A = this chain, B = another copy of it.
Amino acid sequence: MGRMNDSTAREGRERPAPARSRLAAAQRERLLGELRACARGVGGEVSARERASKLGASYLRLDDAGRHEFLRLIALEFGPDPAAVAEAHRLFQQSVGTPAQWDAEMHLRAALRSSRIRLLTQFNALPQGVKFLVDLRADLLRYLADDAELAVLDRELEARLTAWFDVGFLELHRITWNSPAFLLEKLIQYEAVHEIRSWTDLRNRLEADRRCYAFFHPRMPAEPLIFVEVALTRALADNIQALLDESAPVLDARKADTAIFYSISNTQKGLRGVSFGSFLLKRVIDDLKRDLPRLGTFATLSPMPDLRAWTEATPGALPDSVTPEELEKVAAAAGRPLDPAGLRELLADPEWVSRRKLAAALHDPLLRLAARYLLEARRDGRPVDPVARFHLGNGARLERLDWMADLSPKGLRRSWGMMVNYLYEPEAIEENVERYSGRGEIAAAYSVRRYLKRPKS
């Protein structure tokens, strides 16, 4: 949302620039000393927290290199003592099968406990402590890409955040045009699927025939963790433009029979691996059913973000999806001879969309391509498409492919304007999850599966 965040906003302009500091040896020593004092709890827990809170403030003043070193210090200097672990392990293995096993297990676990998490937890004393740690993990994840030794710290932090952000602690709130402006502004900033172009666009997404829900953590009340935008419609929506059309009439919500989840955005990079998307959908469906008992169909209108990238990385993908007859028809409509390579080129220019005959000729080949992408392109037995992985993992069914469903530049670039509906059928969810997680089977409607058939040539 460029316009909202651009350089004309006066906010924050008094914030001092972070000092460009490399950690000098002396500074490093001082820091290490302070970390050790915190870890030991010198002067009692209360004092330790106060010291940690100062330490947290200095972390915020460090530049990226400094923060990286700070985190390395925690990762590498505060691990468990290998000798103590060895001894506890010896006793544990000795005791296996005896009544002493449980006690020994407990002691082994204690020996393996590091001071890292104790240190990090103390930062929770900062005024925005939880947010601080979530942002610290976002830093950590960036450094981790090039510094695998941080993984041990990341895993401990992830475990702690998983405990803290347990779905049982999250609060589901509906977001409406009555919500505070600063919160709505965050939706504009965080929306990751279909950009919110203006406040009018936003208000349109909060009209009487729309719903928006988010999960919040009680200690981060100003930050939606994940949010979903829902359109209440009659029949399955097949087109995102129509849903976002600000001039379309507003439907009486009580007359809707279908809820379309058309955008789900995670907002906190530091919570990677802490998942609550499936719970969000479950609770939103429950809430919608209670409010609007006429709703019978719950489905998404979803992008296929990597279709184009996969096609380009998979040499046979496009050629195999088109029969010679179809290729001829396309060539005829395009007004020039075409081989598969030429087809790729033709598709690279969005101009084809506006040429009716050409588009018609491309319909079957592209849908076939999309069906293969979703159903057959796998990595570790799971679909390569991340959106498919999410919804199928939650027990949804691949219900329908939508042609010319998102003609925005992004939509054309990523999936030639196609989208897909995933259907959440409460009674089928559990079985779908089992078959998917066990055997990697994907629940898909015939209208999708039929595109897998070998095209008659």
Q: Which residues of A are in contact with B by a Cβ distance under 8 Å?
A: 3-4, 7-14, 42-47, 49, 75-76, 79-80, 82, 85-86, 89, 92-93, 96, 99, 101-103, 105-106, 108-110, 112, 114, 121, 124-125, 129-130, 148-149, 151-152, 155-156, 160, 163-164, 166-169, 177-182, 184-185, 199-200, 203-204, 207-208, 218-219, 246-250, 252, 275, 278-279, 282, 393-395, 429-431, 433-434, 437
In the complex, the answer to whether B103 meets A79 with C-beta atoms within 8 Å is no
In the complex, the answer to whether A106 meets B151 with C-beta atoms within 8 Å is yes
In the complex, the answer to whether B168 meets A219 with C-beta atoms within 8 Å is yes
Interface centre among A121, A125, A163, A219 (most CB of B within 10 A): A163
* A44-B430, A82-B93, A430-B43 given; A108·B112 CB < 8 A: yes
* Cα(A437)–Cα(B41), bound, Å: 10
A79 CB → nearest B CB, Å = 6
Chain B residues near A121: list those with CB within 8 A. Answer: 163, 166, 168
In the complex, the answer to whether B9 meets A203 with C-beta atoms within 8 Å is yes
Chain B residues near A45: list those with CB within 8 A. Answer: 275, 278-279
A442 CB → nearest B CB, Å = 15
In the complex, the answer to whether B166 meets A124 with C-beta atoms within 8 Å is yes
Which one of B9, B44, B89, B93 lies within 8 Å of A429 (CB-CB)? B44
* A160-B163, A393-B44 given; A124·B204 CB < 8 A: no
Chain B residues near A275: list those with CB within 8 A. Answer: 45
* Cα(A79)–Cα(B371), bound, Å: 44
What are 20 A-B contacts defined by CB distance under 8 Å? Answer: A10-B247, A43-B430, A43-B433, A44-B429, A45-B278, A46-B282, A46-B394, A82-B93, A82-B101, A85-B93, A85-B108, A99-B149, A103-B151, A109-B155, A109-B156, A112-B112, A124-B168, A180-B181, A181-B181, A181-B184
In the complex, the answer to whether B43 meets A168 with C-beta atoms within 8 Å is no
In the complex, the answer to whether B178 meets A180 with C-beta atoms within 8 Å is yes
Chain B residues near A168: list those with CB within 8 A. Answer: 121, 124-125, 129-130, 219
Chain B residues near A43: list those with CB within 8 A. Answer: 395, 429-431, 433-434
A422 CB → nearest B CB, Å = 14
* Cα(A218)–Cα(B130), bound, Å: 14
Chain B residues near A250: list those with CB within 8 A. Answer: 10-14
* Cα(A278)–Cα(B50), bound, Å: 13
Chain B residues near A433: list those with CB within 8 A. Answer: 43-44, 47
In the complex, the answer to whether A167 meets B49 with C-beta atoms within 8 Å is yes
A78 CB → nearest B CB, Å = 11
* Cα(A185)–Cα(B14), bound, Å: 28
In the complex, the answer to whether B169 meets A219 with C-beta atoms within 8 Å is yes
A40 CB → nearest B CB, Å = 10
Chain B residues near A89: list those with CB within 8 A. Answer: 85-86, 89
* Cα(A93)–Cα(B151), bound, Å: 18
A51's nearest neighbour on chain B, judged by CB, is B430
A289 CB → nearest B CB, Å = 15
In the complex, the answer to whether B179 meets A180 with C-beta atoms within 8 Å is yes
- Lowest 5 A-B CB distances belong to which pairs? A124-B168, A218-B218, A44-B433, A102-B152, A43-B430
A75's nearest neighbour on chain B, judged by CB, is B102
Q: Can you add 8 more A-B contacts, CB < 8 Å, to A10-B250, A85-B93?
A: A4-B200, A10-B246, A43-B434, A44-B433, A82-B96, A178-B182, A181-B203, A218-B218
* A44-B437, A180-B180, A434-B42 given; A105·B152 CB < 8 A: yes
* Cα(A42)–Cα(B282), bound, Å: 16
In the complex, the answer to whether A164 meets B163 with C-beta atoms within 8 Å is yes
Chain B residues near A112: list those with CB within 8 A. Answer: 105, 108-109, 112
A109's nearest neighbour on chain B, judged by CB, is B112
A82's nearest neighbour on chain B, judged by CB, is B96
In the complex, the answer to whether A207 meets B279 with C-beta atoms within 8 Å is no
Chain B residues near A252: list those with CB within 8 A. Answer: 14
In the complex, the answer to whether A8 meets B247 with C-beta atoms within 8 Å is yes
In the complex, the answer to whether B182 meets A177 with C-beta atoms within 8 Å is yes
* Cα(A249)–Cα(B101), bound, Å: 51
* Cα(A427)–Cα(B105), bound, Å: 42
Which one of B12, B155, B200, B393 lies within 8 Å of A9 (CB-CB)? B200
